[in-house]
Chain A
Amino acid sequence: MIQKLSDIQKDNLTKRNSALHSTRMEGAFREIRDMDYEYSADIGLAYASPVRGVWNIVHIATLVPQGHQIFVCPTSCLRGVVLTTAELGRMDKMSTITVGEENILEGDMEEMLQHGVERVIRELPEKPRMMMIFTSCIHHFMAVNYQRVYNILAKEFPEIDFVDCYMDPIMRRTNPVVPSLWRQMHRVLRYTEAKNPKQVTLLGNCFPHEGAYCDLVSLLEANGIKVLEACNCKDYDEYLTMAESTCNFLFHKSGIAAAKDLEIRQKQPWYRMRPGYAYDEYDEDLRKAASILGIPEPKQSFLDSEKARTEACIRETQSLLEDTPVSIDYTAVDCPLELAQFLLDHGFNVESVMVDNFTESEDVFQKLRNTKPTLRIYETYGWNIRQMQRVHAGKILCIGQKSAYFMDSDYFVNEVENAGMYGYRGLRRLMDLISDAFRNPKPMRDLVQVKGWECECGE
């Protein structure tokens, strides 16, 4: 039976309103005991805080060595991506094609796209090896046949790899832009049957993972295995050798789409190292990684000693902080609820978590609710956060830029997306950063506004 359009709309609105009422904050925060697991701040009007540390698609695409980005969008969409690039000081990696009113009316989006890309290639002082062409929301609605354009361009410029990329936030609920980009960025890898048992790829990392703070990389390095990731390839030829990796590892969910794609296209297995705070999971994942690669598993005695060192480090940090309130936000770590639970279990006074929806398992949520029912959950995205007074009575230690901003605290760990930390080494590093943040205030106002963590303004 065909449903009437008006009924679909009504149904859509009813569901949405129900979600809005069940999840929205009455004020700036709610206690976790009053919340449902289904909570989402991405309903209703959205606010953008001045906190800018999380990397966006421009930062990520800039990682590709010898790559060039072309964004094809209306002016309002171009402004953000162009200035992100300008702030990076990498205008040499970006060009734009503005979609105008007449393109909408005349339906000549394909010609405009083709001619624009041809001109960019013609005028760039050096031809890029890979060209990422970002189309936008408007192209979906205009049913633009951009694949046809890319086919023409690929024939015209066979020395350049053209990749269709997307900046289409209107699709964010079904096809978020960041996972989509990680997948598309790796589509250029040519299939090879010959895999290198001494090489792996880390997918979906904005920041390099180094052995000092990452147990997996430490294990790989100890066994002479080369680690490639988008952020550490010296040139495009090396980037392409990712096709030879014997396995793809990832830490963040945003890399899963790429991993699944490469499993099909490149016949590369993949494994996600769980980025939480459970020692058993660390041990299990490291053993699994070793087994996939055919290298010796870490010995139990080694893992036990790592655990003991980590526990000692945590105790030291806790005794430094004592009862100082702690706030955690989702931009700093992938698993903020799990980190809150872990810190509470170790005697820290976690007061609040800033998170716009619960992406961890319901078990984690329920356990945390039982452990500290009065834990405050702040949303950072919905309009209600504008009711918050950005202040905290007394010193508060914040883990992440958003919590630091909303709590107006200079005592904060300045990191995003786990900052390359994983496992026991990562946890010890996190404790060091917490201790340092507790002792040494930072210029929060300046640091959180830098677009892209660790990206310098490229004047």
Chain B
Amino acid sequence: MNAVSDYQTHVFTSTYTADVSGVCSALYELGGMTVIHDPSGCNSTYSTHDEPRWFDTDSLMFVSGLDEMTAVLGDDNVLIDDVTHAVRDLKPRFVTLCSGSIPHIIAFDCKGVAHLLEKRTGVPMLPVTTTGNRSYVAGVGAALTEWVKRFADSLESPYRVSSSGGPDCSANTLEGAAGPESFSVNLLGVTPLDFSINGNVDAMRKVFEDAGIPVNCCAAMGESFDSLRHIFRASVNVVVSSCGRRLARYMEQTAGIPYVEGTPIGAYGAARLPKLAKEAYEKKRASLEEDSHGALDGTSGSLRMLLAKKKGDSEGICLWKGNPAHERWDVPDGQILIIGEEVFAQSLAAAINQLTPDCRHGLRAFAVWPDVDHGFPEDVLAELIRKSRYIIGDPLYRTIPHDSKQNTFVDFPHEAYSGRIFRDRIPVFIGKNYDVAELL
């Protein structure tokens, strides 16, 4: 028995959205069809608990309905035939194929089947390898990255590399394809799972637009297939949820686009994040100018900047230790504990720690977040809750036994955790109008 496997038992708590739902959520608005290869249930779970747009907007999300006989025989022809029939009738612009746990253990060849389907139907197929065992962060990240790989043109990057493999100087000087006047950002990792549909996404665009920075693409809410194809035109990527990190890394590696991480929560985040993006842009620009003299290629040099800095920095955000078991978080007793998605939780902690000591009762905020593979170890989380003065997190975490006199819960619903139950209570937390101090 694995010594660190107790994260698996959850006596009191819920579970985060799974990777397959993350795939559907990320690609929902792009005009494609998504097929989850699984027996049943994944699509109803997604449409009931993980997709607030389901009732009002049409989207083509289906489950293959894998049955025992087909699984035992490993008969992929059934899926191929079924998808072919549906594609012929519904005429989607592209088809995404992902799979749950049973195809995973019978070694379903997602890429191979997608290839065969594309040949047969003539419709672009997007294989996104999922297992049903990971969280939505993995699913959203993989789906967005695969989509961009397939449909977006990295040559549109302002930092593009010339066909000879060396830097394209006209672009690298930033006076060509993307001069200072065309500075723009992408918002990566945007789904209702982290931001709901209550105005947070509009507020996020506004944060940057108010700072004079156009938003090139918001991956992937409020975008169409055609608009998202130009995602490489942005100067800087802003990873507003950890769901966007994989795509940011891909775009940095292939097109040299730097990225910053942070969620613009409250006045602090709204002011700081656009500045950080500009700073990243200036640094990139400076490095390219150096490159053009030093003959480095235009994509070299990773530039990742965080809104929330690591422990030891002035903002005092604490990252957990002990990967992958998450058994030790360095959180002192009697402080403010923030439970949530990684980038959000760290950004909120940063915003709280910027308040005057009086506003935060002289305490400091510390962020913890679930692992993509393992979620939270419930016993460790319970211990953290019991020793914290304030706990900011989804209301479903209240089910963990605690002393309500010692531990004050501050509800901050998260769609990827409690689904639709508290949807009406999710605040518009993005932008300067959200007062972080009111949480405490």
Contact = CB atoms under 8 A, between A and B. Distances in A.
A47 B418 contact: no
Interface in B68-98: 68-71, 73, 75, 77-78, 81-83, 85-86, 89-90
Interface string B377-409: 000000000000000000110010100000000
Contacts of A50: 47-48, 54-55
A96 B100 CA distance: 18
A99 B48 contact: no
B105 A123 contact: no
B35 interface: yes
B385 to A, nearest CB: 14
A78 B10 CA distance: 11
A387 B399 CA distance: 42
Nearest to A17: B81
A47 B62 contact: yes
A100 B8 contact: yes
A174 B68 contact: yes
A112 B8 contact: yes
Contact of B89 (A42, A170, A384, A457): A384
A119 B9 contact: yes
B189 interface: no
A74 B90 contact: no
Nearest to A121: B11
Contacts of A16: 78, 81
Contact of B133 (A87, A101, A168): A101
A47 to B, nearest CB: 6
Interface string B1-41: 11001111111101111111100000000000001001111
Given A101-B133, A108-B2, A79 B62 contact: no
A391 interface: no
B105 A138 contact: yes
A24 B11 CA distance: 44
A44 B86 CA distance: 8
A91 B85 contact: no
A102 B43 CA distance: 25
Interface string A423-459: 0000000000000000000000100010100000111
B21 A79 contact: yes
A387 B90 contact: yes
B133 A75 contact: yes
Given A44-B82, A169-B39, A80 B64 contact: no
B12 A459 contact: no
Contact of A76 (B7, B19, B89): B19
Nearest to B47: A48
Contacts of A44: 65, 82, 85-86
Interface in A75-103: 75-80, 82-83, 86-87, 91-92, 95-103
Contact of B18 (A13, A75, A458): A75
A305 interface: no
A123 B5 contact: no
A226 interface: no
B109 to A, nearest CB: 15
Contact of A98 (B8, B42, B44): B8
A86 B418 CA distance: 8
Contacts of A47: 43, 61-62
A9 interface: yes
A104 interface: yes
A100 B5 contact: yes
Contacts of A106: 2
A449 B78 CA distance: 32
B342 interface: no
Contacts of A387: 89-90
A172 B133 contact: no
B102 interface: yes
B58 A386 contact: yes
B48 A76 contact: no
Interface in A8-63: 8-9, 12-13, 16-17, 20, 24, 42-50, 52
Contact of A83 (B14, B66, B399): B14
A46 B101 contact: no
Contact of A120 (B11, B41, B46): B11
Contact of B48 (A13, A78, A140, A451): A451
A110 B282 CA distance: 56
Chain B: number of interface residues, binned into ranges:
35 or more
B82 A86 contact: no
A52 B62 contact: no
Contact of A172 (B7, B39, B89): B39
Nearest to B45: A80
A226 to B, nearest CB: 36
A459 B421 contact: yes
A125 interface: yes
Interface residues of A, number: 76
Interface string B217-245: 00000000000000000000000000000
B151 interface: no
A66 to B, nearest CB: 17
B60 interface: yes
Given A20-B85, A383-B62, A457 B421 contact: yes
Interface in A99-131: 99-104, 106, 108, 111-112, 115-116, 119-120, 123-125
B297 interface: no
A96 B10 contact: yes
B184 interface: no
B65 A12 contact: no
B396 to A, nearest CB: 6
A171 interface: yes
B419 to A, nearest CB: 5
A455 to B, nearest CB: 12
Interface centre among B8, B100, B135, B374 (most CB of A within 10 A): B8
A445 B55 contact: yes
A75 B66 contact: no
B105 A75 contact: no
Contacts of A295: none
Given A12-B75, A79-B17, A138-B102, A98 B10 contact: yes
A141 interface: yes
A173 B50 contact: no
B208 to A, nearest CB: 33
A74 B42 CA distance: 11
Contact of B11 (A20, A108, A119, A169): A119
Which 7 residue pairs across A and B have the least CB separation, nearest first? A80-B45, A76-B18, A76-B132, A169-B40, A45-B62, A48-B44, A170-B39
24 contacts: A9-B77, A16-B81, A48-B46, A74-B18, A75-B18, A75-B19, A76-B19, A76-B20, A76-B133, A79-B15, A79-B45, A83-B49, A87-B421, A91-B12, A91-B396, A99-B101, A120-B11, A123-B11, A141-B106, A170-B71, A383-B89, A387-B89, A449-B48, A459-B395
Given A75-B134, A79-B17, A119-B6, 20 more contacts: A9-B77, A20-B82, A46-B65, A48-B43, A76-B38, A86-B419, A86-B421, A96-B9, A97-B8, A97-B10, A99-B101, A101-B131, A111-B1, A112-B8, A125-B401, A142-B105, A383-B85, A384-B89, A386-B58, A386-B60
